[in-house]
Chain A
Amino acid sequence: MAKKLDKVEAVTVGVGWAGGIIAAELAKAGVKVVGLERGNDRSTEDFQMVHDEYRYAIRYELMQDLSKETITFRNKPGEKALPMRQFGAFLIGTGVGGAGAHWNGDTWFFSPYDFEIKTMTDKKYGKNKLPKEYTLQDWGITYKELAPYYHQFERMAGTSGELNPLRPERTEKYPTPPMKDTPILKSYMDAANRLGLHPFRQPSANISEVYKNPDGETLNQCQYCGFCEKFGCEYGAKSSPNVTVVPTALKTGNFDLRTHANVTGIIHDGNKATGVRYVDTQTGEEFDQPADIVVLTSYTLNNTRLLLQSELGRPYDPKTGTGVIGKNYCYQITAVATGFFKDRFNAAMGAGALGTTLDDYNNDNFDHSDLDFIHGGSITMKQLGKRPINENGAPSGTPRWGKEFKKESIKWFNRSIPVTSQGASMPHKNNYLSLDPTYKDAYGNPLLRMTYDFTEQDHALYDYITARCADILEEMGAEVVEPKELTDHFDIVPAQNDHITGGVIMGADPETSALNNYLQMWDVDNVFVIGASAFAHNGGYNPTGTVGALAYRAAEGILKYRKNKGQLVKRETSNKLV
């Protein structure tokens, strides 16, 4: 029997970027907020032993405990989905700060094209540019409407960067200047310029100088130690919820952070949520936390699963195309080419978002009339800091073990570097999330089932963008350039990309989207669902900046909802038959 707790005004499920931003904004406005986080508490002090590749990058210290909960996976409807038993293709964070503790720090704005992709694609290339199986749709918000929230996120995070020559005007400068330049990044910049492209120093949450944000939190200067991705920062120099919004929320006295609290369901009375149920993962005790407003702020997959499991919203059915929860699941198409150079560079030194990028082949910045795909990807060379367990690359043909392997992998460790792209991913009617009929989590609830495969659009985009990555490495003078091939089908095993989106998408039409543009559920007025789960497709950049902007937008929406109740956005219902 679950113990019933005293009612609070708002509860968040998960305390990462989304949960932290909601907690800070609501608590500052005087709202009592409970933050339920299944993982442990952590702060900068917890990262003193973080320079440990094995513990963090190989054994995944900061990631979800898959023995408790994972997903099942299949490539297409009709196949039997099987559990993802170990991490591979993507990682799922856990604990206070969530993915915002272990991220690299790439802090992007999506493009104006992203938010109106359906309208703009139809207008420029006609309605049949993509076959009808692609469930492409606008986001129900424009870049111009979202831009102020992007800036708000940057000011809080202290983002370092320089102006992208191919971007629309920004109304504010980056809060801090770009990170340090390095010889290999300069070589990329020069090569790209010689090719007539438009490279620039990419936006970074590894902060270039000491920065005090508007909430009074101080971020330190990045030390380029090379341990960012999959690690926490021992300096508090990478903006994360742990050093920004979580302490901001706690200082108000209005934020009650409860760790080891794993939410198993949203309690509701018809179309009104009344609270959440959670399990104390250390004692096994169950609690019901009543709340006026329930805010789902966990990872993409968990946001979707919690709604399906709690029977809130209309589940998506790929056969009929009806329903919305689980719809438009997207990934990111990671095009890669590796350059092997004659001379050594200081490959171990680096930072998660220390890089040079170009957008010439991203968004609709290039003409797609003669191409069989839309969109593209940012193309980046990063100096992340190479680490020796994971980095044993050598030109193809080198054996994978033995004398030759040892010799070559050692030789190339400080001589090779990839150019990578965050390739956009378009939604397809057969790529979706639902509940698994067979496999259960540690609490007896069904696992989430992912049905996903690369589309023809993905393959075409990948091949085109990979060739562009290779062009730049050739121009840089690499001795060997090796573009990587995309597997025929999406494979759950090899590490690819952690940028998973969709499942609870926003839009203007309740028939085709789950949320309005304040991330309020169309079907349940007092539930807001924040995260990359709200993306109607995945763009050509890392997603966190957009998650942050949407979280600030949703925080404003929640404060409005407190006063006015009801739906914050007027429905635009399409005429199409359901």
Chain B
Amino acid sequence: MDEDSKKSNMSRRKFIRNSSYAAGGLIGGGIIGSLIGTNYFNDTEQPSTRSSKESNFNRALMFFTRQSDFQILSAATERIYPKDDQGPGAIELGVPYFIDHELAGAYGHNEREYMKGPFLEGTEYQGYQTPLKRHAVFMTGIRALESESKSAYDASFVDLEGEQQDKILKKFENDDVKLHKVSSAYFFEMLRSATISGTYADPLYGGNADMDAWKMKNFPGSQMTYLNKIGSEKFIDIKPKSLNDHIS
């Protein structure tokens, strides 16, 4: 093992110890891997994705082909749902992996949505009309985040300060960036809603690691009954359960 790898592993272990979600098999190199290239850590050591005994095998890419695209996505989701003193942000929760996996499947390919032409521009009340499937919208949007970053700051989106990243994301939100066959505002809405979905969906989908997003929100997840609790005058703090608890 070379010196860099040792340092990385130490850093990873330290990170796991310090994080609030250090619970057995749910965490692993993948989470750390997703932090590569972001300015998430203040120290200069970049943790390694390699050789982790705590591997969460779910944390690998099934849609994205370039890790650089995935890192831009990761950084953007973290700005939407950042880590704070209440708990983890999108990256630690695994949201970028959630989005990657969703883009590879029915969601990304609009399998249960009407995608027949002709695609015409309608009024603002007729809903968005684009021939692009979600996976294509995401790719277009992510590449555009990077090119906007380079032209504004001469740096990759992942290397910007948080406030600079916000400025770029706001340009997309306000539809101030021109994209091919889709509006930047539509991409942003999709990015925002996918981030929130990944944050709060059952952990079975790859986000909401260790149900930490539910814990922050005091949402008990999947409980079988509240019959004897619902009449309570007091707020009841309940340890959350996931669908995994229902598998027999």
Contact = CB atoms under 8 A, between A and B. Distances in A.
A406 B86 contact: yes
A525 interface: no
B114 A54 contact: no
Contacts of A439: 116
Interface stretch (A63-71, A189-197, A280-288): A63-71
Contacts of A52: 201-202, 204, 222, 243
Contact of A348 (B118, B199, B213, B220): B220
B219 interface: yes
Contact of B197 (A383, A389, A413): A389
Nearest to B221: A51
Contacts of A387: 219
Interface stretch (A246-254, A486-494, A547-555): A486-494
A228 to B, nearest CB: 12
Contact of A65 (B81, B112, B128): B112
Nearest to A71: B114
A520 B71 CA distance: 61
Contacts of A153: none
Contacts of A54: 197, 201-202, 205
A226 interface: yes
Interface string A77-108: 00111111110100000000000000000000
A414 B231 contact: no
A413 B127 CA distance: 28
B1 interface: no
Contacts of B2: none
A406 B81 contact: yes
Interface stretch (A128-136, A170-178, A260-268, A396-404): A396-404
Contacts of A489: 125
A414 to B, nearest CB: 6
A73 B129 CA distance: 12
Nearest to A85: B114
Interface residues of B, number: 61
B112 A181 contact: no
Interface string B4-23: 00000000000000000000
A410 B205 CA distance: 21
A83 B113 CA distance: 10
Contacts of A88: 127
A546 B80 CA distance: 44
B172 to A, nearest CB: 11
Chain A residues touching B, majority SS:
loop
Interface in A28-80: 48-49, 51-54, 58-60, 65-67, 70, 73-75, 79-80
Contact of A85 (B127, B223, B235): B127
A224 B123 contact: no
B76 to A, nearest CB: 10
A314 interface: no
A410 B79 contact: no
A350 B230 contact: yes
Given A53-B201, A73-B126, A84 B114 contact: yes
B152 interface: no
A413 B81 CA distance: 16
A389 B200 contact: yes
Nearest to A354: B230
Nearest to A58: B197
A414 B235 contact: yes
A388 B214 contact: yes
A224 B166 contact: no
A429 B171 CA distance: 42
A114 to B, nearest CB: 29
Interface string A468-479: 000000000000
A270 interface: no
A343 B218 CA distance: 14
A52 B203 CA distance: 10
A51 B122 CA distance: 37
Contacts of A401: 79-81, 169, 192, 195
Contacts of A224: 225-227, 230
B199 to A, nearest CB: 8
A343 B233 CA distance: 11
A490 B126 CA distance: 9
A119 interface: no
B24 to A, nearest CB: 23
B140 to A, nearest CB: 18
Residue with the highest number of chain A CB atoms closer than 10 Å, among B86, B107, B217, B229: B217
Given A348-B218, A493-B125, 10 more contacts: A48-B246, A53-B200, A59-B112, A66-B114, A182-B230, A223-B227, A225-B226, A388-B214, A406-B82, A406-B89
27 contacts: A51-B221, A58-B201, A65-B112, A73-B126, A80-B120, A85-B113, A88-B127, A180-B227, A182-B231, A225-B226, A346-B230, A348-B223, A348-B226, A349-B230, A350-B226, A386-B219, A389-B200, A402-B82, A402-B166, A410-B86, A410-B216, A410-B217, A413-B217, A414-B218, A490-B125, A493-B127, A493-B128
Q: Which 7 A-B pairs have the closest CB atoms?
A: A51-B222, A54-B201, A388-B200, A349-B226, A223-B225, A344-B235, A401-B80
